[in-house]
């Protein structure tokens, strides 16, 4: 926080920069967190008597002292008993204040007034792999949102209508938001975060608010363009990583399929694409997007699916005619001239194997493999018969999950010595490592940075971690799987040990990160590490500000507590 004290005399090494807070992820979650950390404070407005908000909430809000900010209020008490479309109470509370009675169809002004207070400013940096907006820049630009525009705006904005926006419009809004709120100086884009580890203790800090000795975490990564190392020491870190970084692979078809709508859209526009049908696998909204992309490209579609997902089934036909059209076809309605004439439903079918057919390579290898004709053998369990189809593209949209490779096991309170040798490593590998360590950091680590991008942890560093500590146990070290690879790598990328069920991978809907509902701190990590947004089960933008409010309010309370000690 800002203060007028003299500069701190304590310094870190030249390649490490100190920030009070490091925000990992520059999507809507990271953007609204930065807005609050910049010193923008929420205050409650006068509540209109005729506004039909929850009566219990109205009574609690009326008891707030006049002039008290929400940072100083008991947010957990205010949110108690509220119901909404989030698993977390404070996001429900914040949504009820920012968009009162939105679920009732009432258009009412926000009950929050934002005031800038310089003494509430917290020095921070926001790290993201792409431009501000995160995953919104990776979606096909013409795909439309489920939420109306009014539910996609971030504080302090309150405008927006009832229409659904294109992904391009949301991505452009995110770019403008950072400039409109004057947050550019906090954003460092084009950075891949590879680890968040505990800092070694270096001695007691001084009284300066930004003393580097207050640092608890070391956040490391690299710049995508220059491959230069990035290292930040911080007192607190906020995980705002998106929930759709990795598509769930489809068994037997994973090497031949795409799991992202943007890649499917690009493949559909490839000049070398054959006229063969496209195979789409999945039962949810993302699979419906894939079907609609094929229809827009005038491509026939074979749709392998189970019963339509609840999220698709409950969409209102008046608001979502496109998705409801796909839903009716999945339920058995015969396609007509006006409703996806090239659509073929294959309910409950199972892919047995995929055989790529030979084709001449004329361009990019990845694109050529994606559009290369494939023979797919399918099983219909209802009749116990098999059939073969030849397709041009396979799009598998059976779910997605976050990539949490940077949450490593040495976040446990008992620090792990990262210099410890792997017991199954070879002497030659160790000697080579010592030589390589003298070279430029990223040149030295390029081989495992590539594997990070390919959804795996750094091969060498992963062998230093203990697999059993992922489940809160101590004991046997992880075993290498040969050539320096460890079985713990995939588990670390899945975030096993940090979810509500610590024995299972983190899933934004079924098994989100386990957090303190009042502060959004991770329960399986040291104090000071927060999570919000999709990884904390808030999968809609409208609930993101509540998670940021919980985290930033807790930071201010903790700072006041430390100041009085």
Report the pLDDT value the prediction gives residue 477, as an integer from 0 to 100: 39
pLDDT of residue 362 exceeding 60? no
Report the pLDDT value the prediction gives residue 49, as an integer from 0 to 100: 86
Q: Which residue has the higher pLDDT, 356 or 210?
A: 356
DSSP strand pairing (17-24 vs 301-305): unpaired
The answer to whether 30 and 126 have CB atoms below 8 angstroms apart is: yes
Tokens, residue 415: 């620090």
Q: Which residue has the tokens 């800090």?
A: 205
CA 435-201-405 angle, 5° bins: 60
Confidence tier at 365 by pLDDT (50, 70, 90): low
What DSSP assignment string belongs to 91-149?
Answer: HHHHHHHHSTTGGGT-----SEEEEE-GGG---EEEEESSSTTGGGGTS-TTPEEEEEG
Containing 168, the helix (H) or strand (E) segment is helix 167-180
Q: Which residue has the tokens 């290898």?
A: 365
Over residues 292-324, the pLDDT tens digits come to 999 999 999 999 999 988 888 889 888 899 999
Report the pLDDT value the prediction gives residue 7, as an integer from 0 to 100: 59
Tokens, residue 112: 């929050």
What residues contact 454, with CB distance under 8 A and at least 6 apart? Answer: none
Confidence tier at 405 by pLDDT (50, 70, 90): confident
CB atoms within 10 A of CB 152: 22
What residues contact 158, with CB distance under 8 A and at least 6 apart? Answer: 98, 109, 110
Over residues 32-71, the pLDDT tens digits come to 999 999 999 999 999 888 888 889 999 999 998 888 999 9
Burial 441-478 (b: 16+ CB within 10 A, else e): beebbeebbebbeebbbbbbbbbbbbbebbeeeeeebb
**Dist CA 282 CA 286 (whole Å):** 8
Mean pLDDT value across residues 7-13? 60
The three-class DSSP label of residue 237 is strand
Report the pLDDT value the prediction gives residue 336, as an integer from 0 to 100: 64
Average pLDDT, the chain: 81
Phi, psi (degrees; rounded to nearest 5) at 476: -65, 135
* Domains defined along the chain, listed by start: 17-244+498-564 (3.50.50.60), 249-398 (3.50.50.60), 409-494 (no CATH)
Tokens, residue 146: 């489920």
**Dist CA 367 CA 247 (whole Å):** 18
Tokens, residue 45: 């407005």
**Dist CA 165 CA 143 (whole Å):** 8
Over residues 422-442, the pLDDT tens digits come to 333 344 444 444 444 444 444
The three-class DSSP label of residue 92 is helix
Confidence tier at 238 by pLDDT (50, 70, 90): very high
CB atoms within 10 A of CB 168: 15
Q: Which residue has the tokens 């074979």?
A: 302
Look at residues 78, 85, 87 and name the one whose alpha carbon lies nearest to residue 42: 78
What residues contact 483, with CB distance under 8 A and at least 6 apart? Answer: 459
Confidence tier at 128 by pLDDT (50, 70, 90): very high
Phi, psi (degrees; rounded to nearest 5) at 532: -155, 165
Q: What percent of the chain has pLDDT over 70?
A: 77
Q: Which residue has the higher pLDDT, 455 or 177?
A: 177
DSSP strand pairing (164-166 vs 144-148): antiparallel
Confidence tier at 503 by pLDDT (50, 70, 90): confident
Q: Which residue has the tokens 């799991």?
A: 259
Confidence tier at 480 by pLDDT (50, 70, 90): very low
Mean pLDDT value across residues 344-361? 86
CB atoms within 10 A of CB 85: 13
Confidence tier at 239 by pLDDT (50, 70, 90): very high
Q: Which residue has the higher pLDDT, 477 or 107?
A: 107
Residue 72: Cβ-neighbour burial (10 angstroms; 0-12, 13-18, 19+) = middle
pLDDT of residue 456 exceeding 50? no
Least confident interval from 261-275, 318-332, 399-413, 533-547: 399-413
Report the pLDDT value the prediction gives residue 37, as an integer from 0 to 100: 98
What DSSP assignment string belongs to 516-563?
Answer: -TTT-BBTTS-TTEEE-SGGGT--SGGGHHHHHHHHHHHHHHHHHHHH
DSSP strand pairing (17-24 vs 229-239): parallel
Q: Which residues pair with 232 in a beta bridge?
A: 17, 219
Report the pLDDT value the prediction gives residue 490, as an integer from 0 to 100: 53
pLDDT of residue 443 exceeding 80? no
Report the pLDDT value the prediction gives residue 462, as an integer from 0 to 100: 33
Least confident interval from 114-118, 326-330, 502-506, 555-559: 502-506
Q: Which residues pair with 486 in a beta bridge?
A: 480
Helix 544-564 and helix 89-98, axial crossing angle in degrees, nearest 10? 110
Confidence tier at 338 by pLDDT (50, 70, 90): low
DSSP tag of 499 = B
């Amino acid at each position: 926080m800002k203060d007028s004290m003299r500069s701190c005399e304590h310094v870190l090494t030249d390649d490490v920069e100190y920030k009070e807070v490091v925000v990992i992820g520059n999507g809507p979650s990271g953007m609204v967190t930065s807005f609050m950390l910049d010193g923008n404070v929420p205050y409650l407005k006068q509540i209109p008597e005729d506004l039909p908000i929850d009566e219990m909430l109205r009574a609690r809000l009326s008891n707030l002292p006049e002039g008290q900010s929400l940072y100083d209020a008991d947010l957990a008490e205010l949110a108690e008993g509220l119901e909404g479309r989030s698993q977390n109470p404070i996001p429900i509370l914040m949504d009820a204040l920012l968009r009162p009675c939105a679920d009732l169809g009432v258009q009412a002004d926000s009950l929050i007034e934002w005031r800038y207070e310089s003494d509430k400013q917290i020095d921070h940096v926001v790290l993201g792999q792409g431009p501000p907006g995160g995953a919104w820049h990776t979606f096909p630009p013409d795909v439309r949102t489920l939420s109306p525009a009014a539910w996609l705006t971030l504080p302090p904005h309150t405008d927006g209508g009832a229409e659904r926006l294109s992904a391009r419009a949301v991505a452009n809004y995110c770019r403008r938001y950072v400039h409109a709120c004057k947050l550019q100086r906090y954003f460092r884009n084009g950075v891949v975060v590879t680890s968040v580890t505990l800092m070694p203790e270096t001695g007691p800090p001084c009284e300066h608010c930004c003393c580097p000795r207050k640092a608890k975490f070391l956040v490391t990564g690299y710049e995508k363009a220059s491959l230069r190392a990035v290292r930040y020491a911080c007192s607190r870190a906020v995980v705002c990583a998106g929930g759709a970084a990795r598509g769930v692979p489809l068994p037997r078809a994973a090497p031949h399929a795409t799991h992202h709508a943007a890649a499917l859209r690009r493949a559909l526009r490839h000049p070398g694409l054959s006229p063969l049908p496209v195979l789409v696998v999945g039962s949810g909204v993302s699979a419906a997007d894939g079907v609609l992309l094929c229809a827009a490209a005038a491509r026939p579609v074979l749709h392998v699916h189970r019963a339509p997902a609840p999220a698709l089934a409950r969409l209102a036909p008046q608001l979502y005619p496109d998705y409801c059209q796909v839903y009716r076809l999945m339920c058995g309605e015969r396609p007509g001239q006006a409703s996806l004439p090239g659509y073929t439903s294959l309910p409950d079918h199972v892919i047995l194997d995929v055989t790529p057919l030979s084709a001449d390579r004329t361009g990019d290898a990845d694109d050529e493999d994606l559009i290369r004709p494939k023979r797919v053998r399918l099983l219909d369990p209802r009749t116990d018969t098999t059939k073969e189809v030849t397709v041009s593209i396979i799009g598998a949209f059976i779910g997605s999950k976050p990539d949490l490779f940077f949450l490593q096991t040495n976040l446990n309170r008992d620090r792990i010595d990262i210099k410890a040798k792997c017991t199954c490593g070879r002497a030659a590998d160790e000697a080579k490592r010592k030589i390589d360590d003298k070279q430029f950091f990223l040149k030295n680590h390029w081989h495992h940075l590539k594997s990070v991008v390919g959804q795996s942890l750094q091969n060498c560093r992963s062998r230093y971690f203990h697999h059993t500590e992922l489940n809160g146990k101590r004991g046997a070290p992880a075993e290498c799987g040969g050539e320096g690879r460890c079985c713990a790598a995939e588990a670390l990328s899945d975030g096993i040990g940090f979810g509500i069920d610590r024995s299972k991978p983190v899933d934004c809907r079924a098994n989100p990160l386990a957090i303190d509902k009042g502060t959004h701190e991770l329960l399986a990590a040291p104090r000071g590490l927060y999570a919000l947004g999709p990884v904390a089960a808030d999968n809609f933008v409208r609930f993101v500000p509540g998670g940021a409010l919980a985290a930033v309010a807790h930071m201010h309370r903790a700072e006041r507590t430390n100041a009085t000690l």
